Structure 1
Amino acid sequence: MSSHLGMLLVLLLAIISVQADNSSNSYQFVREYKGATFFDDWDFYGSWDNLTVGDAFWVDSQTAWNRSLVSVNSFGNAVIRTDTGHVDWNIKRDAVRITSHASYDLGSLLLIDVYHIPWGCATWGAIWTMGPDWPNGGEIDIIEGINKQPYNQIALHTVPGCTRDPNAWFYAEPGEGDCSAPAGCIIKQTDTPSQPSYGDAFAAAGGGVWAVQFDIQGIYMWYWPRWRAPTELDNPPEFGLDISGWGQPVAAFPGTTCDMASVFAPQKIVIDTTFCGNWAGLPQVYAQTCAGQETTDGKPATGSCYVDNVIGPGSPRFDNAYWELGHIRAYTTGTNEPRATSEPTATSVPTATSGPTATSGHTATSGPVASAPNTTDGPTAVVVKHDPSPTSTSADIIWQPSAGGGIHLRPIPSHLLSIGIVVLFWITMT
């Protein structure tokens, strides 16, 4: 009998040891944005793009639903579209920007399953995160691309003192190294025919999955085309994730040259699409990424992003300017401890000092205005999108790992519990 009890003890210890996880490698499930409830916990911006001087008007929730700019398709995927109707001169084209109610602190991991990314001339789409008081709270650009750019661009934006460690190993092409520079510290994903990360090739390949580890030791990102995604990503989210076998990340920003705790506040998730603006619409950038582009009516190109694309018919020009998302999942290393914070009001939203004004809704009083040339690899400081939604009314929920770090215990998954019950039954019957 004592041997049986010993075997039982060994079994229980084995099950517990499987569940004991290192705080930087194993994550517990927090929440999922998916399917019919995908859009339940987001704020819609409800104003013009006064952040990038883009030629978009980000509609409110009611308008987005009424005009099918947001929907859930027959596959259960969330779809976020842009307007494809006719736009007259001096008018902005309607699009969507949403910001999550919840914020995610150091110790979090995000999993983003994407089937389609907005692409095409004049299009600028991004999935990114922001702190409550940019730039003091930092920004993480996870998925971002413009025009017909052939790759995804990853970046961090912080206050001075944070840089990308030049000795960090990752599978991508490094760009600017100073995270406080106008473009941020950049990593350009290196695309191959079998592993595209942006544009029509990405959509044709069935999309892919990004994972973002937001940790005090650094910020790390992985990307897999759908056919290469780890099998554990198909498990029910309640099983959690162990990232120890994920291998080399596509982007690495280790804490060796950046104090993550001092430059990054809890982050909200933002999904948006704008047009032109002071990255996609910069003359030299537009010329490089939309060479030979005709206007919407087939006339020779003028070189103006707004004139050649935004005005006139939106189809087929913007037929590919949409997001299709399988899900976004959030995980944490420890016990979730939500705490409410006050939501900034619309009065804190800055207005752009140049470019189109918002005095008449969608209409820009002076038409599109080209900003000064940008000599960096990406956006200028104005480009970095940093404001809460002016239509937000909800309190923040900040998901934090439990204090202390170290080893945490997860609930035992049902398959391991079943094994334990079977073995226990066998022991008691012998």
Structure 2
Amino acid sequence: MHFTTLFTYAIAASTTGWAAYVLEDDYMDGDFFSKFSFWETEDPTHGFVAYQNQSAATEQKLIESTSNQVNLLVDSTYKTPNGRPSVRLTSNKIYQSGLVIIDVAHMPGSICGAWPAFWTVGPDWPNQGEIDIIEGVNDQAMNKMTLHTGPGCSIGNNNAFSGSLETTTCDVSGESNVGCQIEASGGATYGTSFNAAGGGVYAMDWTSKSIAIYFFPRGSIPSDVTGNSPNPSSWGQPVAHFSGGCDISSAFTNQQLVFDTTFCGDWAGKVWGESCAAKTGKTCEEWVANNPKEFKEAYWTINSLKVYQNGGGSSEPEPSAAPSSYAPPNSVPQSAPPSSAGQSSFQTVSVAPSSTGGWLPLPTSSDAVSSAPMSSYAPAPSNPAVSSYAPAPSSPPEVSTPAESSPGGWPGASPTWGGGPPPWESGGWGQHENRDGSYAVGIPAQHYRQHARHLRAHKMRRAGMH
């Protein structure tokens, strides 16, 4: 396997989304509210709400924070004929892709008149898109996840999600601006039932090709979700997966995170007659204005909010060119293998370009190539010298071909490897002889046995033995 072949193999693996996510923003680290702007003007969804600035919200105790929790409340004390006081927060940070993970202990309950949401939106709505991660109105029981876009965006049922596909047209000009919507089909995913179960975690994985939303109820949250090395490929089926007739990379740009709780308006008010009119005997605005105690449960309690990037960009990066400093030697000095190389198994690792021009080790078995995530492999720095590549994992798969039988012996230490032992001595890389007698470095372990058999047969034919 020459370097060109190895590089092609590396690109194929790197474009499957194996590269590990890197934490970009931890919103609970420091002053949560300094990372958001408070909406102070009229509600663009025409809600019966009075959004408060930070000073007023603090005075009215509509916002609270500790070192590990944040509360966003609405007024539940006074009658409010001009709209119920609440807050709407918009992140100061803007994103072009990423993995958003939020741990919510409590969200506004399934309350007639309430319309809570955690979502993202671009400043030029709808042309820069909107992603509704958690959203519902009135006495709704299940979460509704929705995309809103400009013209030319729709989704299909790709059988890649557990929710129920409600609508397929994301364009706001179609289907009365419902957007393309997937409703959770089971579990305590929203409102009162969500709170009764202790809340849970939502994760939105937004790449250039699709948008997936995962939900994990309290008690069933994978350890990597709450750690700093999340790996969506290990999470199973998402509750929603948006893909199909939509260029995600152009339909969703310059997104900011948003929390809000509004009332009535374009959605909660529009569907008021489906159940809440009969329950309350009032119009939506009358109910919200005159029944403050009904909204004691209309608050958010956030345990954690983090945003990750895949190598600083999309989780499905375009392959980068090989670093100019990488030049596998055509000829490597020969020496007898060190005593430690006489073991009956060894591991080799090849490399894949990351989205930042750096490199990542590839999996080292055929099973790993098809399914294993890359999150367990340490990324190397951007455009590194060969000597800076990360060593292979400490528990390599067994390979029956002994190291000492590798053709031509093993090269020794040289300045090429930073003056120290070469990677193959420490179990990091392998090397092999090409037909022309040159050496290549980084052959994947799963190809070694095939290559060794071929080379032995070639030498036997050349010696007239076969």
Give the TM-score, by structure 2 length. Answer: 0.63
1:358-402 deviation per Cα after TM superposition (whole angstroms, max 9, x unaligned): xxxxxxxxxxxxxxxxxxxxxxxxxxxxxxxxxxxxxxxxxxx95
Identical residues among aligned pairs (%): 35
Go from structure 1 to structure 2 and tell me whether the alpha carbon gap of 1:187 and 1:178 turns closer, same or farther (over 3 Å shift).
same
1:158 and 2:153 matched: no
Q: CA separation of 1:232/1:86 partners in 2, compared to 1, >3 Å: closer, same or farther?
A: same
The Cα offsets for residues 230-281 of structure 1, whole Å up to 9 and x where unpaired, read as 111232x2xx222221111110112x42111221112100000101112101
Counterpart CA distance in 2 for 1:149 and 1:86 is 25
Instruction: Report what 1:394 is aligned to.
Output: none
Q: 1:100 to 1:85 in 2, by over 3 A?
A: same
Matched, 1:221 2:209: no
Q: Is 1:123 the counterpart of 2:114 in the alignment?
A: yes
In structure 2, the residue corresponding to 1:76 is in which secondary structure? coil
Q: Residue type matched to 2:58 in 1?
A: W
Name whichever structure is richer in strand by fraction: 1
Q: Does structure 2 conserve the Cα–Cα contact (< 8 Å) formed by 1:36 and 1:76?
A: no
The Cα of 1:35 is off from its aligned counterpart by: 6.5
Paired letter, 2:33: F
TM-aligned CA distance change 1:276 to 1:139, over 3 Å: same
> Are the counterparts in 2 of residues 154 and 188 from structure 1 also a CA contact under 8 Å?
yes
CA drift of 1:404 comes to 6.6
Do residues 103 (structure 1) and 94 (structure 2) align? yes
Could you list the per-position Cα deviations for residues 108-154 of structure 1 after superposition, in whole angstroms to 9, with x for gaps in the alignment?
A: 11001111111211000001101121111011000001111111100
The residue that corresponds to 2:124 in the other structure is: 133
Letter in structure 1 aligned against 2:183: K
Residues 208 and 248, structure 2, Cα contact 8 Å, conserved in 1: yes
Query: 1:334 Cα shift?
Result: 1.6
Match of 2:296 among 304, 319, 326: 319
The amino acid that maps onto 2:310 is: T
In the alignment, the residues of structure 1 paired with residue 312 and residue 196 of structure 2 have an alpha-carbon distance, to the nearest angstrom, of 39
- 1:268 maps to which residue? 256
Partner residue of 1:84? 76
CA gap 1:274/1:88 in 2 versus in 1, 3 angstroms: closer
2:50 matched residue in structure 1 = 57
Match of 1:212, SS state, is strand
2:273 paired residue number:
287
Write the deviation string for residues 145-204 of structure 1: whole angstroms up to 9, x where unpaired.
Answer: 11111111000011121111223421001111000031110000112xxx2111211101
Give 1:148's aligned residue.
139
Q: Secondary structure at the match of 2:102?
A: strand
C-alpha separation in 2, matches of 1:221 and 1:405: 29
Which amino acid in the other structure matches residue 210 of structure 1?
Answer: Y
Point out where structure 1 has 5 or more consecutive residues left out of the alignment: 1-16, 295-300, 338-400
Distance in 2 (CA, whole Å) between partners of 1:330 and 1:407 is 22
Secondary structure of the structure 1 residue equivalent to 2:219? helix
Contact kept? 2:199, 2:217, Cα under 8 Å: yes
Q: Distance in 1 between matches of 2:199 and 2:65?
A: 17
CA RMSD of aligned residues (A): 2.8
Q: Which has the larger radius of gyration?
A: 2
Q: 2:194 matched to 1:202? A: yes
CA offsets, 1:92-112, max 9 Å, x none? 111000000001113x11001
Separation in structure 1 between the aligned mates of residue 275 and residue 164 of structure 2, nearest angstrom:
18
CA distance, structure 2, for counterparts of residue 405 and residue 60 of structure 1: 44
Within 5 A, what are the aligned runs for 1:414-429? none
Aligned partners of 2:162 and 2:277: how far apart in 1?
A: 29
Q: CA deviation at 1:405?
A: 9.8
Per-residue deviation at 1:291? 5.4
Q: Which has the higher contact order (CA 8 A, sep 6+)?
A: 1
Q: Distance in 1 between matches of 2:245 and 2:126?
A: 18
